[in-house]
Chains A and B, each alone.
Chain A
Amino acid sequence: MLQCIFLLSDSGEVMLEKQLTGHRVDRSICAWFWEQAISQGDSFKLQPVIASPTHYLFQVVREGITFLACTQVEMPPLMAIEFLCRVADVLSDYLGGLNEDVIKDNFIIVYELLDEMIDNGFPLTTEPNILREMIAQPSIVSKVLSVVTGNSSNVSETLPGATASCVPWRTPDPKYANNEVYVDLVEEMDATINRDGVLVKCEIYGEVQVNSHLSGLPDLTLSFANPSILDDVRFHPCVRFRPWESNQILSFVPPDGQFKLMSYRVKKLKSTPIYVKPQLTSGGGTCRIDVLVGIRNDPGKTIDSITVQFQLPHCILSADMTSNHGTVNILANKTCLWSIERIPKDKAPSMSGTLVLETGLERLHVFPTFQVAFRIMGVALSGLQIDKLDLKNLPNRPYKGFRALTRAGEFEVRS
């Protein structure tokens, strides 16, 4: 089981330590860790499980904050990683984002949360709903109040009722004047287009996000018009497995507020909404780049926030890029970012430029990969459709809302 959790800032400073068991872990492990991270660079920072000379370390990095957990004994590594991810989620939810200042400013809340979330190295209460009732979220009102009255209690006086209920994710008996529930389909498209321009892989990773403000203990049923297209699914603990197994129906008692009901994957899609065609020709110590972007399959809604970016290879001395639409920036880490936003009706956006290679190199022998980002409101590109949402156990008719959104995930074009 976990022995200690450290929170490190992006400069390697130990902001917080929480010892979990009697086998204390000395802070010097962080010094070791940071030394390795500096000497080994990025590949070390991406290594989730590290065997140090004295401890096994698990690390999760979020927004520059490193969550480091130590153990000396066998335990499921994914449990530690998932837990650290959960801690990061809860903290960023509580503090409205994660950064060095916000953690230092609210270190008492971080301590109190950690103390509730893990006991003796084993996760105790990780359900955000219960946590929120045990430890108050810092809000503007409470902050002002604490200044005025000098009293800053953020610890609840009683045990949240949900700990005892059979639906621990739900606050018992919330009351709302307007009952409303919103269902969002948020999809990300992963695609790989190889050097020959062939679509090697195209799939959708989607989430059904629900925001519910319903009184009492409602029972919801959500069904899809075409569940057969789903390749695989993962559920929030509130979803009952049996109805899904037999009829592909989602039956659940929702938590209060925003949550991720399910995530799914749709594989083997045939086309992408936009095309990106890079062309590189090199010779005589320079390389000419041309990139064309255009709409391939009109999804029926506007495609916006389009960007194309790529990493300039190491062997390039200088680059000069221009575009007929949007702006081109070359960032400090040799990343070239072309933001197009929307594709104009009258012309196809293109970017072109020349790269000067290192002296001695005739032509380019390594080729960058172009990463594409876009967003389409109002469409779920996988084609998944919600059939209906039934609500039971509700006093009055609630308002139901549905939305959809697709954006690019790992959308890559090789050159």
Chain B
Amino acid sequence: MFPQFGATAETLSKASTLVFRIGTDAHLYDDPEDVNIAPLLESKFDSEKCEALKRLLALIAQGFDVSNFFPQVVKNVASQSLDVKKLVYLYLLHYAEKRPNEALLSINCFQKDLGDPNALVRGWALRTMAGIRLHVIAPLVLVAVGKCARDPSVYVRKCAANALPKLYDLRLEEHNSAIEEIVGILLNDHSPGVLGAAAAAFASICPNNFSLIGQNYQRLCEILLDVEEWGQIILIGILLRFVIAKHGLVRESIMFSLCCTESSNSGKDGSPTEISIKEDPGFLCRGNNFGLDVDVSGDNDLLASMISRCYIEGPNEYLSRLSYTNRGPELNVAQFTSGKSNNDMKILLQCTSPLLWSNNSAVVLAAGGVHWIMAPREDVKRIVKPLLFVLRSSSASKYVVLCNIQVFAKAMPSLFASNFEDFFICSSDSYQIKALKLEILSSIATDSSISFIFKEFQDYVRDPDRRFAADTVAAIGLCAQRLPKTANTCLQGLLALTRLEFLSSDIESVEGEAGVLIQAIMSIRSIIKQDPPSHEKVIIQLIRSLDSIKVPAARAMIIWIAGEYCSLGDTIPRMLTTVLSYLAWHFTTEALETKLQILNSIVKVLLFAEGEDLWSFKRVLNYVLELAECDLNYDVRDRARFLKKILSSNLDPQGLEEEANIIPQHKELSHVLAEHIFGGQTKPVSPEPMNCRFYLPGSLSQIVLHAAPGYEPLPKPCSLLCDDINLSNVCEGTNALESAKNSDFYDTDDHGSLSGSLDEESTSDYSRQDSITKSSISSGGDGTSSANDDDDNLDPLIQISDVGNACENQNGVSHSGSADLGELISKRGLESWLNDQPALSSASTSEPSQVSISTARISIGDIGRQVKMKSYTLLDPANGNGLKVDYTFSSEVSTISHHLVCVEVFIKNCSSEAMSDIFLQDDESIKRSYSADQTIVATDSSLESHNDIPIIVSMEEITSLEPGQTARGIIQVRFHHHLLPLKLALFCNGKKLPVKLRPDIGYFVKPLPMDIEAFTDKESRLPGMFEYARSCTFTDHIGELNKGKDENLVIKDTFLVICECLALKMLGNANLFLVSVDMPIAANLDDASGLRLRFSSEILSNSIPCLITITVEGKCYDPLKVSIKVNCEETVFGLNMLNRVVNFLAESSQAHL
């Protein structure tokens, strides 16, 4: 009975969940494909259509590609049911970019819906139409947005504002002025709801067009409170930038005092006379708290001035300038305005202060940022409470706010000093939050609060999270350094801790304990460093505890301390004999780091020792050195030998220097050397790392600590002239003039000259090849004559790097031929020369004895000649009635427009009859009824005007082609960075044959010649988000290597073959410049790890550099692991490029041969 009952209970519960799920879309999500979706879409019932669409959305949600339903779904856009409409829109937005042609079918419906009396329908239609992002319909969308920007409904106007960034994203330069105009209209809107969205549009489209803000500034400030919260965040940022650009910084603000203290170089007296100190409570308060430790507050000032500089210049700019020159352009007093007299500044502060009470933490932080930068110092404290209150909202926002508070607290510790309790740690905080709080606490601690903080720290040290406990110990050290008065208390506490730790017997068994101990010793060390004489006793205690402390790192540190302060005071020198004997006794049982430190310390002691002690020390050192020379570890052995050599004189068994004066000069020298190495006192390092980076409060960059793409520092103070509106007009005027000039220039470029240049190119192709062979031969003769006994056509040429003559010669030859050709050659990336490492030699084919020479940067000359351009079939003879068309991407750069990619086309007549009137044309342009001539005359200006469609600059028409004959031509195509095949039409004998041209991203770039320094420099400037890496296996070289073996030819260097294979593959598949080839250190002849090739290029359309680095790993005869790294500012392009490179490197060449 019971099991039965159980069963019924089970079914009951099942039934109840079923009831619960009735009417929901659960079954659709679980089994989206259990019915045939296509017929449902065609159904005449809305409910069935809805179901079908829901099933499609379920598939999208689960990550399936259902774009094949696109045509059927698009039809339903005409449905009257809003339910269906909404679902169709959701689907459309997901796939429109993938199916641009079908998406066009929906445009008519959107146009109709834009006139609908229902505002919701209008808004949705506009959102979707702008959201499908097709270049073709951009003009239509622009008109629609313009119309909707004047719509009576707030919702529709808001949608219009949101549509603007979508349009702008398409990067159609000719529409930009129209878009900005609409932004201006929307910023004039009287509804706060629209303003928020308009502000967002402004920030993403034209953040520096301050003339739009200037007209509305006061109104925007006043309405700020009523704008919805998300708009407030953006609008606050815009207003702040505007005020800084127009009026500069505020004279009473923190930013000002910081800049001035820096420029006048003296802490407090440097404040300008305009500010009366008495009137300034913030200033006084700071004086009270830090008057006693000038050094520390001086540090703060320095740090804070750096912060303000970083806000204005951006950390990268500022820090790089710091490292090169000492001082950049000063912020002069003229760039400051008094906030008390300036109305604009006052209004902004007034209007943002109530926002500190906002419910949205992002708004609070944005408003707080304005006050931090703009408010008079005595008012800045207004932001403290709101910021601390935000800490209570959610743990995610807590972290972000703490990151910002940390910077504020470092720059102005007095601001948060009295609120130290808010940074006490809860057990529910995450580790990151705990670490941040500790850091803030240690930077805001004052003499009055430190006792409370230490009490807390004592609790934290016993926390179960040992990583946190170790951080606490480090924080104690920091506090002691900031407040020297407390140093003694801190040291006592830390010493007690070290004793406590080793009391718990075998601490190595307990996880994390060692970390706490090491941190404690480190903190003690840093405190001692500040004032060694007064902490003599601590040092003695530490040395005494050596016997009980077992952690190697901690022991090493104590031994270092003993060596460093061996001559301090009276007691320590007397202890040393015992200590050293003890260390020598234990030497063999110590860990590596401790052994090294023992050696160092004994030498240091020896150098300071005098008289009797010297004898015993020498004996100890000799003993230890002998032990060390037989040590298992090579580091210890090396160190021992090194020390022995350096101290050979001191270690003389006869001992005293007076007796051993055989080579006094030499002895003196080595002694001085030893003194310099071991005797030098370490300089006190400033506690704050000066290379920290600061970004604007509330920015993403401040959290991730690197400049995120799109991060902009504050505008330069007073960069905006008062008459900004006129100014911007002038600018526009000159732009217009320039563009007019450009178009003129291109218009005069007539048909004849253009086709002439094309001809020139085709002929130059052959002559260039000649010149290459010539140059290679000549260099072979001059430089490495031995290397080139074999057939010139097969063997690569190696330029040995230290043969400077060869390089010069070759360069000379290539330049002497003709300037143009020389340029062309260098652009093709055929050669790269090294002049920078004269001592290097490369492995050459006939000199295997030289292989063992270490790293080498070699150049593979002449590789370009071997590059086989990959040929693709455009039309095979079977489909084309005997006409065969192949194409290869040419590495030439178009002379007409940088948007165009050159494609070389080979047309062969495989039939038995002659063919006539062969002509290749863009499919689209036929539809637009362009004649062939017009396309050819296409100049830059006309390209711009139709740049929403791929445009092809065709080759000349071939009037007739005899059987077996091949014609060659160059077409130039604009791909718009689309990777979809381009439809072309081939005319032959009056018939139209549709063909598809597949773009290759490898040819959307052109070679960018540069040297290795320029390369590494560029590379270092494109870190983080701009760097993408993948790896794949490369096998091509195996065949090549085996081929060499079989045919028993002259033994080729394996590395070289690999380099050559890789370089050929790269250059054969993409239009790149080979910057350098780094050979690995040839310790193991079989190991190719470390081989590195660098390529550079720039994107054709926008000249953004794209750098590729290839690093090889693995054994020569095995498949190699190749990691490819692309650095490019254009993220999407870079990723596509990376994928392409991985694809062609991974695919085996054998498959094609």
- A interface residues, Cβ below 8 angstroms from B: 1, 14-17, 19, 21-24, 27, 42-43, 46-49, 51, 53-56, 58-60, 71-79, 81-85, 101, 104-108, 111-112, 115, 119-120, 122-124, 126-127, 134, 138, 142-147, 150-159, 163-164, 166, 168, 190, 192, 194-196, 200-201, 205, 231-237, 241, 244-245, 260, 263, 265, 311, 313-315, 360-363, 365-369, 371, 410, 412, 414
- B:10-55 near A, CB below 8 Å: 21-26, 28-30, 47, 50, 54
Contact with A along B399-426 (1 / 0, CB 8 A): 1110000000000000000000100101
Q: What's the nearest-Cβ distance from chain A to residue B144, in Å? A: 15
Query: How many angstroms from the CA of A145 to the CA of B509 in the assembled complex?
Result: 66
With contact pairs A73-B709, A78-B362, A119-B162 given, residues A48 and B396 touching in the complex (Cβ less than 8 Å): yes
Binds A, one of B353-361, B746-754, B933-941, B1004-1012: B353-361
Closest A residue to B699 by CB, please name it: A74
With contact pairs A56-B704, A78-B400, A146-B23 given, residues A46 and B395 touching in the complex (Cβ less than 8 Å): yes
With A78-B361, A159-B119, A365-B504 given, name 14 new contacts (CB 8 A): A72-B1131, A78-B400, A78-B401, A81-B396, A108-B28, A115-B89, A145-B23, A156-B120, A159-B123, A265-B392, A360-B506, A362-B505, A366-B462, A366-B463
Binds A, one of B153-161, B819-827, B995-1003: B153-161
Closest B residue to A265 by CB, please name it: B389
A51, A78, A159, A163: the one within 8 Å of B704 (CB): A51
Query: How many angstroms from the CA of A142 to the CA of B22 in the assembled complex?
Result: 10
With contact pairs A72-B1025, A85-B396, A111-B57 given, residues A234 and B389 touching in the complex (Cβ less than 8 Å): yes
When the two chains form their complex, are residues A124 and B225 in contact, meaning their CB atoms are under 8 A apart? no
> What are 18 residue pairs bridging A and B, where the CB atoms are less than 8 Å apart in the complex?
A16-B61, A19-B93, A46-B431, A51-B706, A60-B396, A77-B400, A81-B397, A112-B86, A115-B86, A120-B165, A124-B158, A124-B197, A144-B22, A155-B86, A168-B228, A195-B459, A195-B462, A234-B389
Tell me if B931 is interfacial: C-beta within 8 Å of chain A. no
When the two chains form their complex, are residues B464 and A314 in contact, meaning their CB atoms are under 8 A apart? yes
With contact pairs A54-B1028, A120-B162, A159-B119 given, residues A201 and B421 touching in the complex (Cβ less than 8 Å): yes
B456, B701, B1028: the one within 8 Å of A200 (CB): B456
Query: How many angstroms from the CA of A24 to the CA of B362 in the assembled complex?
Result: 26
B50, B504, B505, B710: the one within 8 Å of A74 (CB): B710
Q: What's the nearest-Cβ distance from chain B to residue A239, in Å? A: 8
When the two chains form their complex, are residues A49 and B704 in contact, meaning their CB atoms are under 8 A apart? yes
A81, A105, A111: the one within 8 Å of B400 (CB): A81
Query: How many angstroms from the CA of A76 to the CA of B230 in the assembled complex?
Result: 10
Residues on A with C-beta less than 8 A from B155 are 159, 163-164
When the two chains form their complex, are residues B63 and A27 in contact, meaning their CB atoms are under 8 A apart? yes
With contact pairs A74-B711, A159-B153, A234-B359 given, residues A115 and B90 touching in the complex (Cβ less than 8 Å): yes
Query: How many angstroms from the CA of A47 to the CA of B395 in the assembled complex?
Result: 9
Closest A residue to B707 by CB, please name it: A74
Closest B residue to A52 by CB, please name it: B1025
Residues on A with C-beta less than 8 A from B169 are 21-22
Query: How many angstroms from the CA of A349 to the CA of B386 in the assembled complex?
Result: 40
Residues on B with C-beta less than 8 A from A233 are 357
Residues on B with C-beta less than 8 A from A83 are 230
- B:448-489 near A, CB below 8 Å: 452, 455-456, 458-459, 462-464, 466, 469
- B:83-100 near A, CB below 8 Å: 83, 86-87, 89-90, 93-94, 97
Q: Is the interface of A mostly helix, strand, loop or mixed?
A: mixed
- B:419-440 near A, CB below 8 Å: 421, 424, 426-428, 430-433
Tell me if B943 is interfacial: C-beta within 8 Å of chain A. no
Residues on B with C-beta less than 8 A from A158 are 118-120
Query: How many angstroms from the CA of A145 to the CA of B475 in the assembled complex?
Result: 64
- B interface residues, Cβ below 8 angstroms from A: 21-26, 28-30, 47, 50, 54, 57-58, 60-63, 81-83, 86-87, 89-90, 93-94, 97, 118-120, 123, 127, 131, 133, 153-155, 158-159, 162-163, 165-166, 169, 192-193, 197, 200, 204, 225-226, 228-230, 233, 237, 354, 357-362, 364-366, 385-386, 388-389, 392, 394-397, 399-401, 421, 424, 426-428, 430-433, 452, 455-456, 458-459, 462-464, 466, 469, 500, 504-506, 509-511, 513, 698-701, 703-704, 706, 708-712, 1024-1025, 1027-1029, 1131-1132, 1135
Residues on B with C-beta less than 8 A from A75 are 700, 710
Query: How many angstroms from the CA of A235 to the CA of B455 in the assembled complex?
Result: 36
Query: How many angstroms from the CA of A32 to the CA of B389 in the assembled complex?
Result: 34
With contact pairs A74-B709, A107-B29 given, residues A159 and B394 touching in the complex (Cβ less than 8 Å): no
Q: What's the nearest-Cβ distance from chain A to residue B829, in Å? A: 28
Q: What's the nearest-Cβ distance from chain B to residue A194, in Å? A: 5
Q: What's the nearest-Cβ distance from chain B to residue A230, in Å? A: 10
Query: How many angstroms from the CA of A363 to the CA of B469 in the assembled complex?
Result: 18
Residues on B with C-beta less than 8 A from A123 are 230
B86, B89, B698, B1135 interface centre (most CB from chain A within 10 Å): B86
A124, A142, A360, A412: the one within 8 Å of B426 (CB): A412
Closest A residue to B95 by CB, please name it: A19
Q: What's the nearest-Cβ distance from chain B to residue A257, in Å? A: 17
Closest A residue to B230 by CB, please name it: A123
When the two chains form their complex, are residues A361 and B510 in contact, meaning their CB atoms are under 8 A apart? yes
When the two chains form their complex, are residues A73 and B708 in contact, meaning their CB atoms are under 8 A apart? yes
Residues on A with C-beta less than 8 A from B510 are 315, 361, 365
Query: How many angstroms from the CA of A159 to the CA of B230 in the assembled complex?
Result: 21
When the two chains form their complex, are residues A360 and B509 in contact, meaning their CB atoms are under 8 A apart? yes
Query: How many angstroms from the CA of A168 to the CA of B193 in the assembled complex?
Result: 9
Q: What's the nearest-Cβ distance from chain B to residue A253, in Å? A: 13
Residues on A with C-beta less than 8 A from B225 are 241
When the two chains form their complex, are residues A143 and B24 in contact, meaning their CB atoms are under 8 A apart? yes
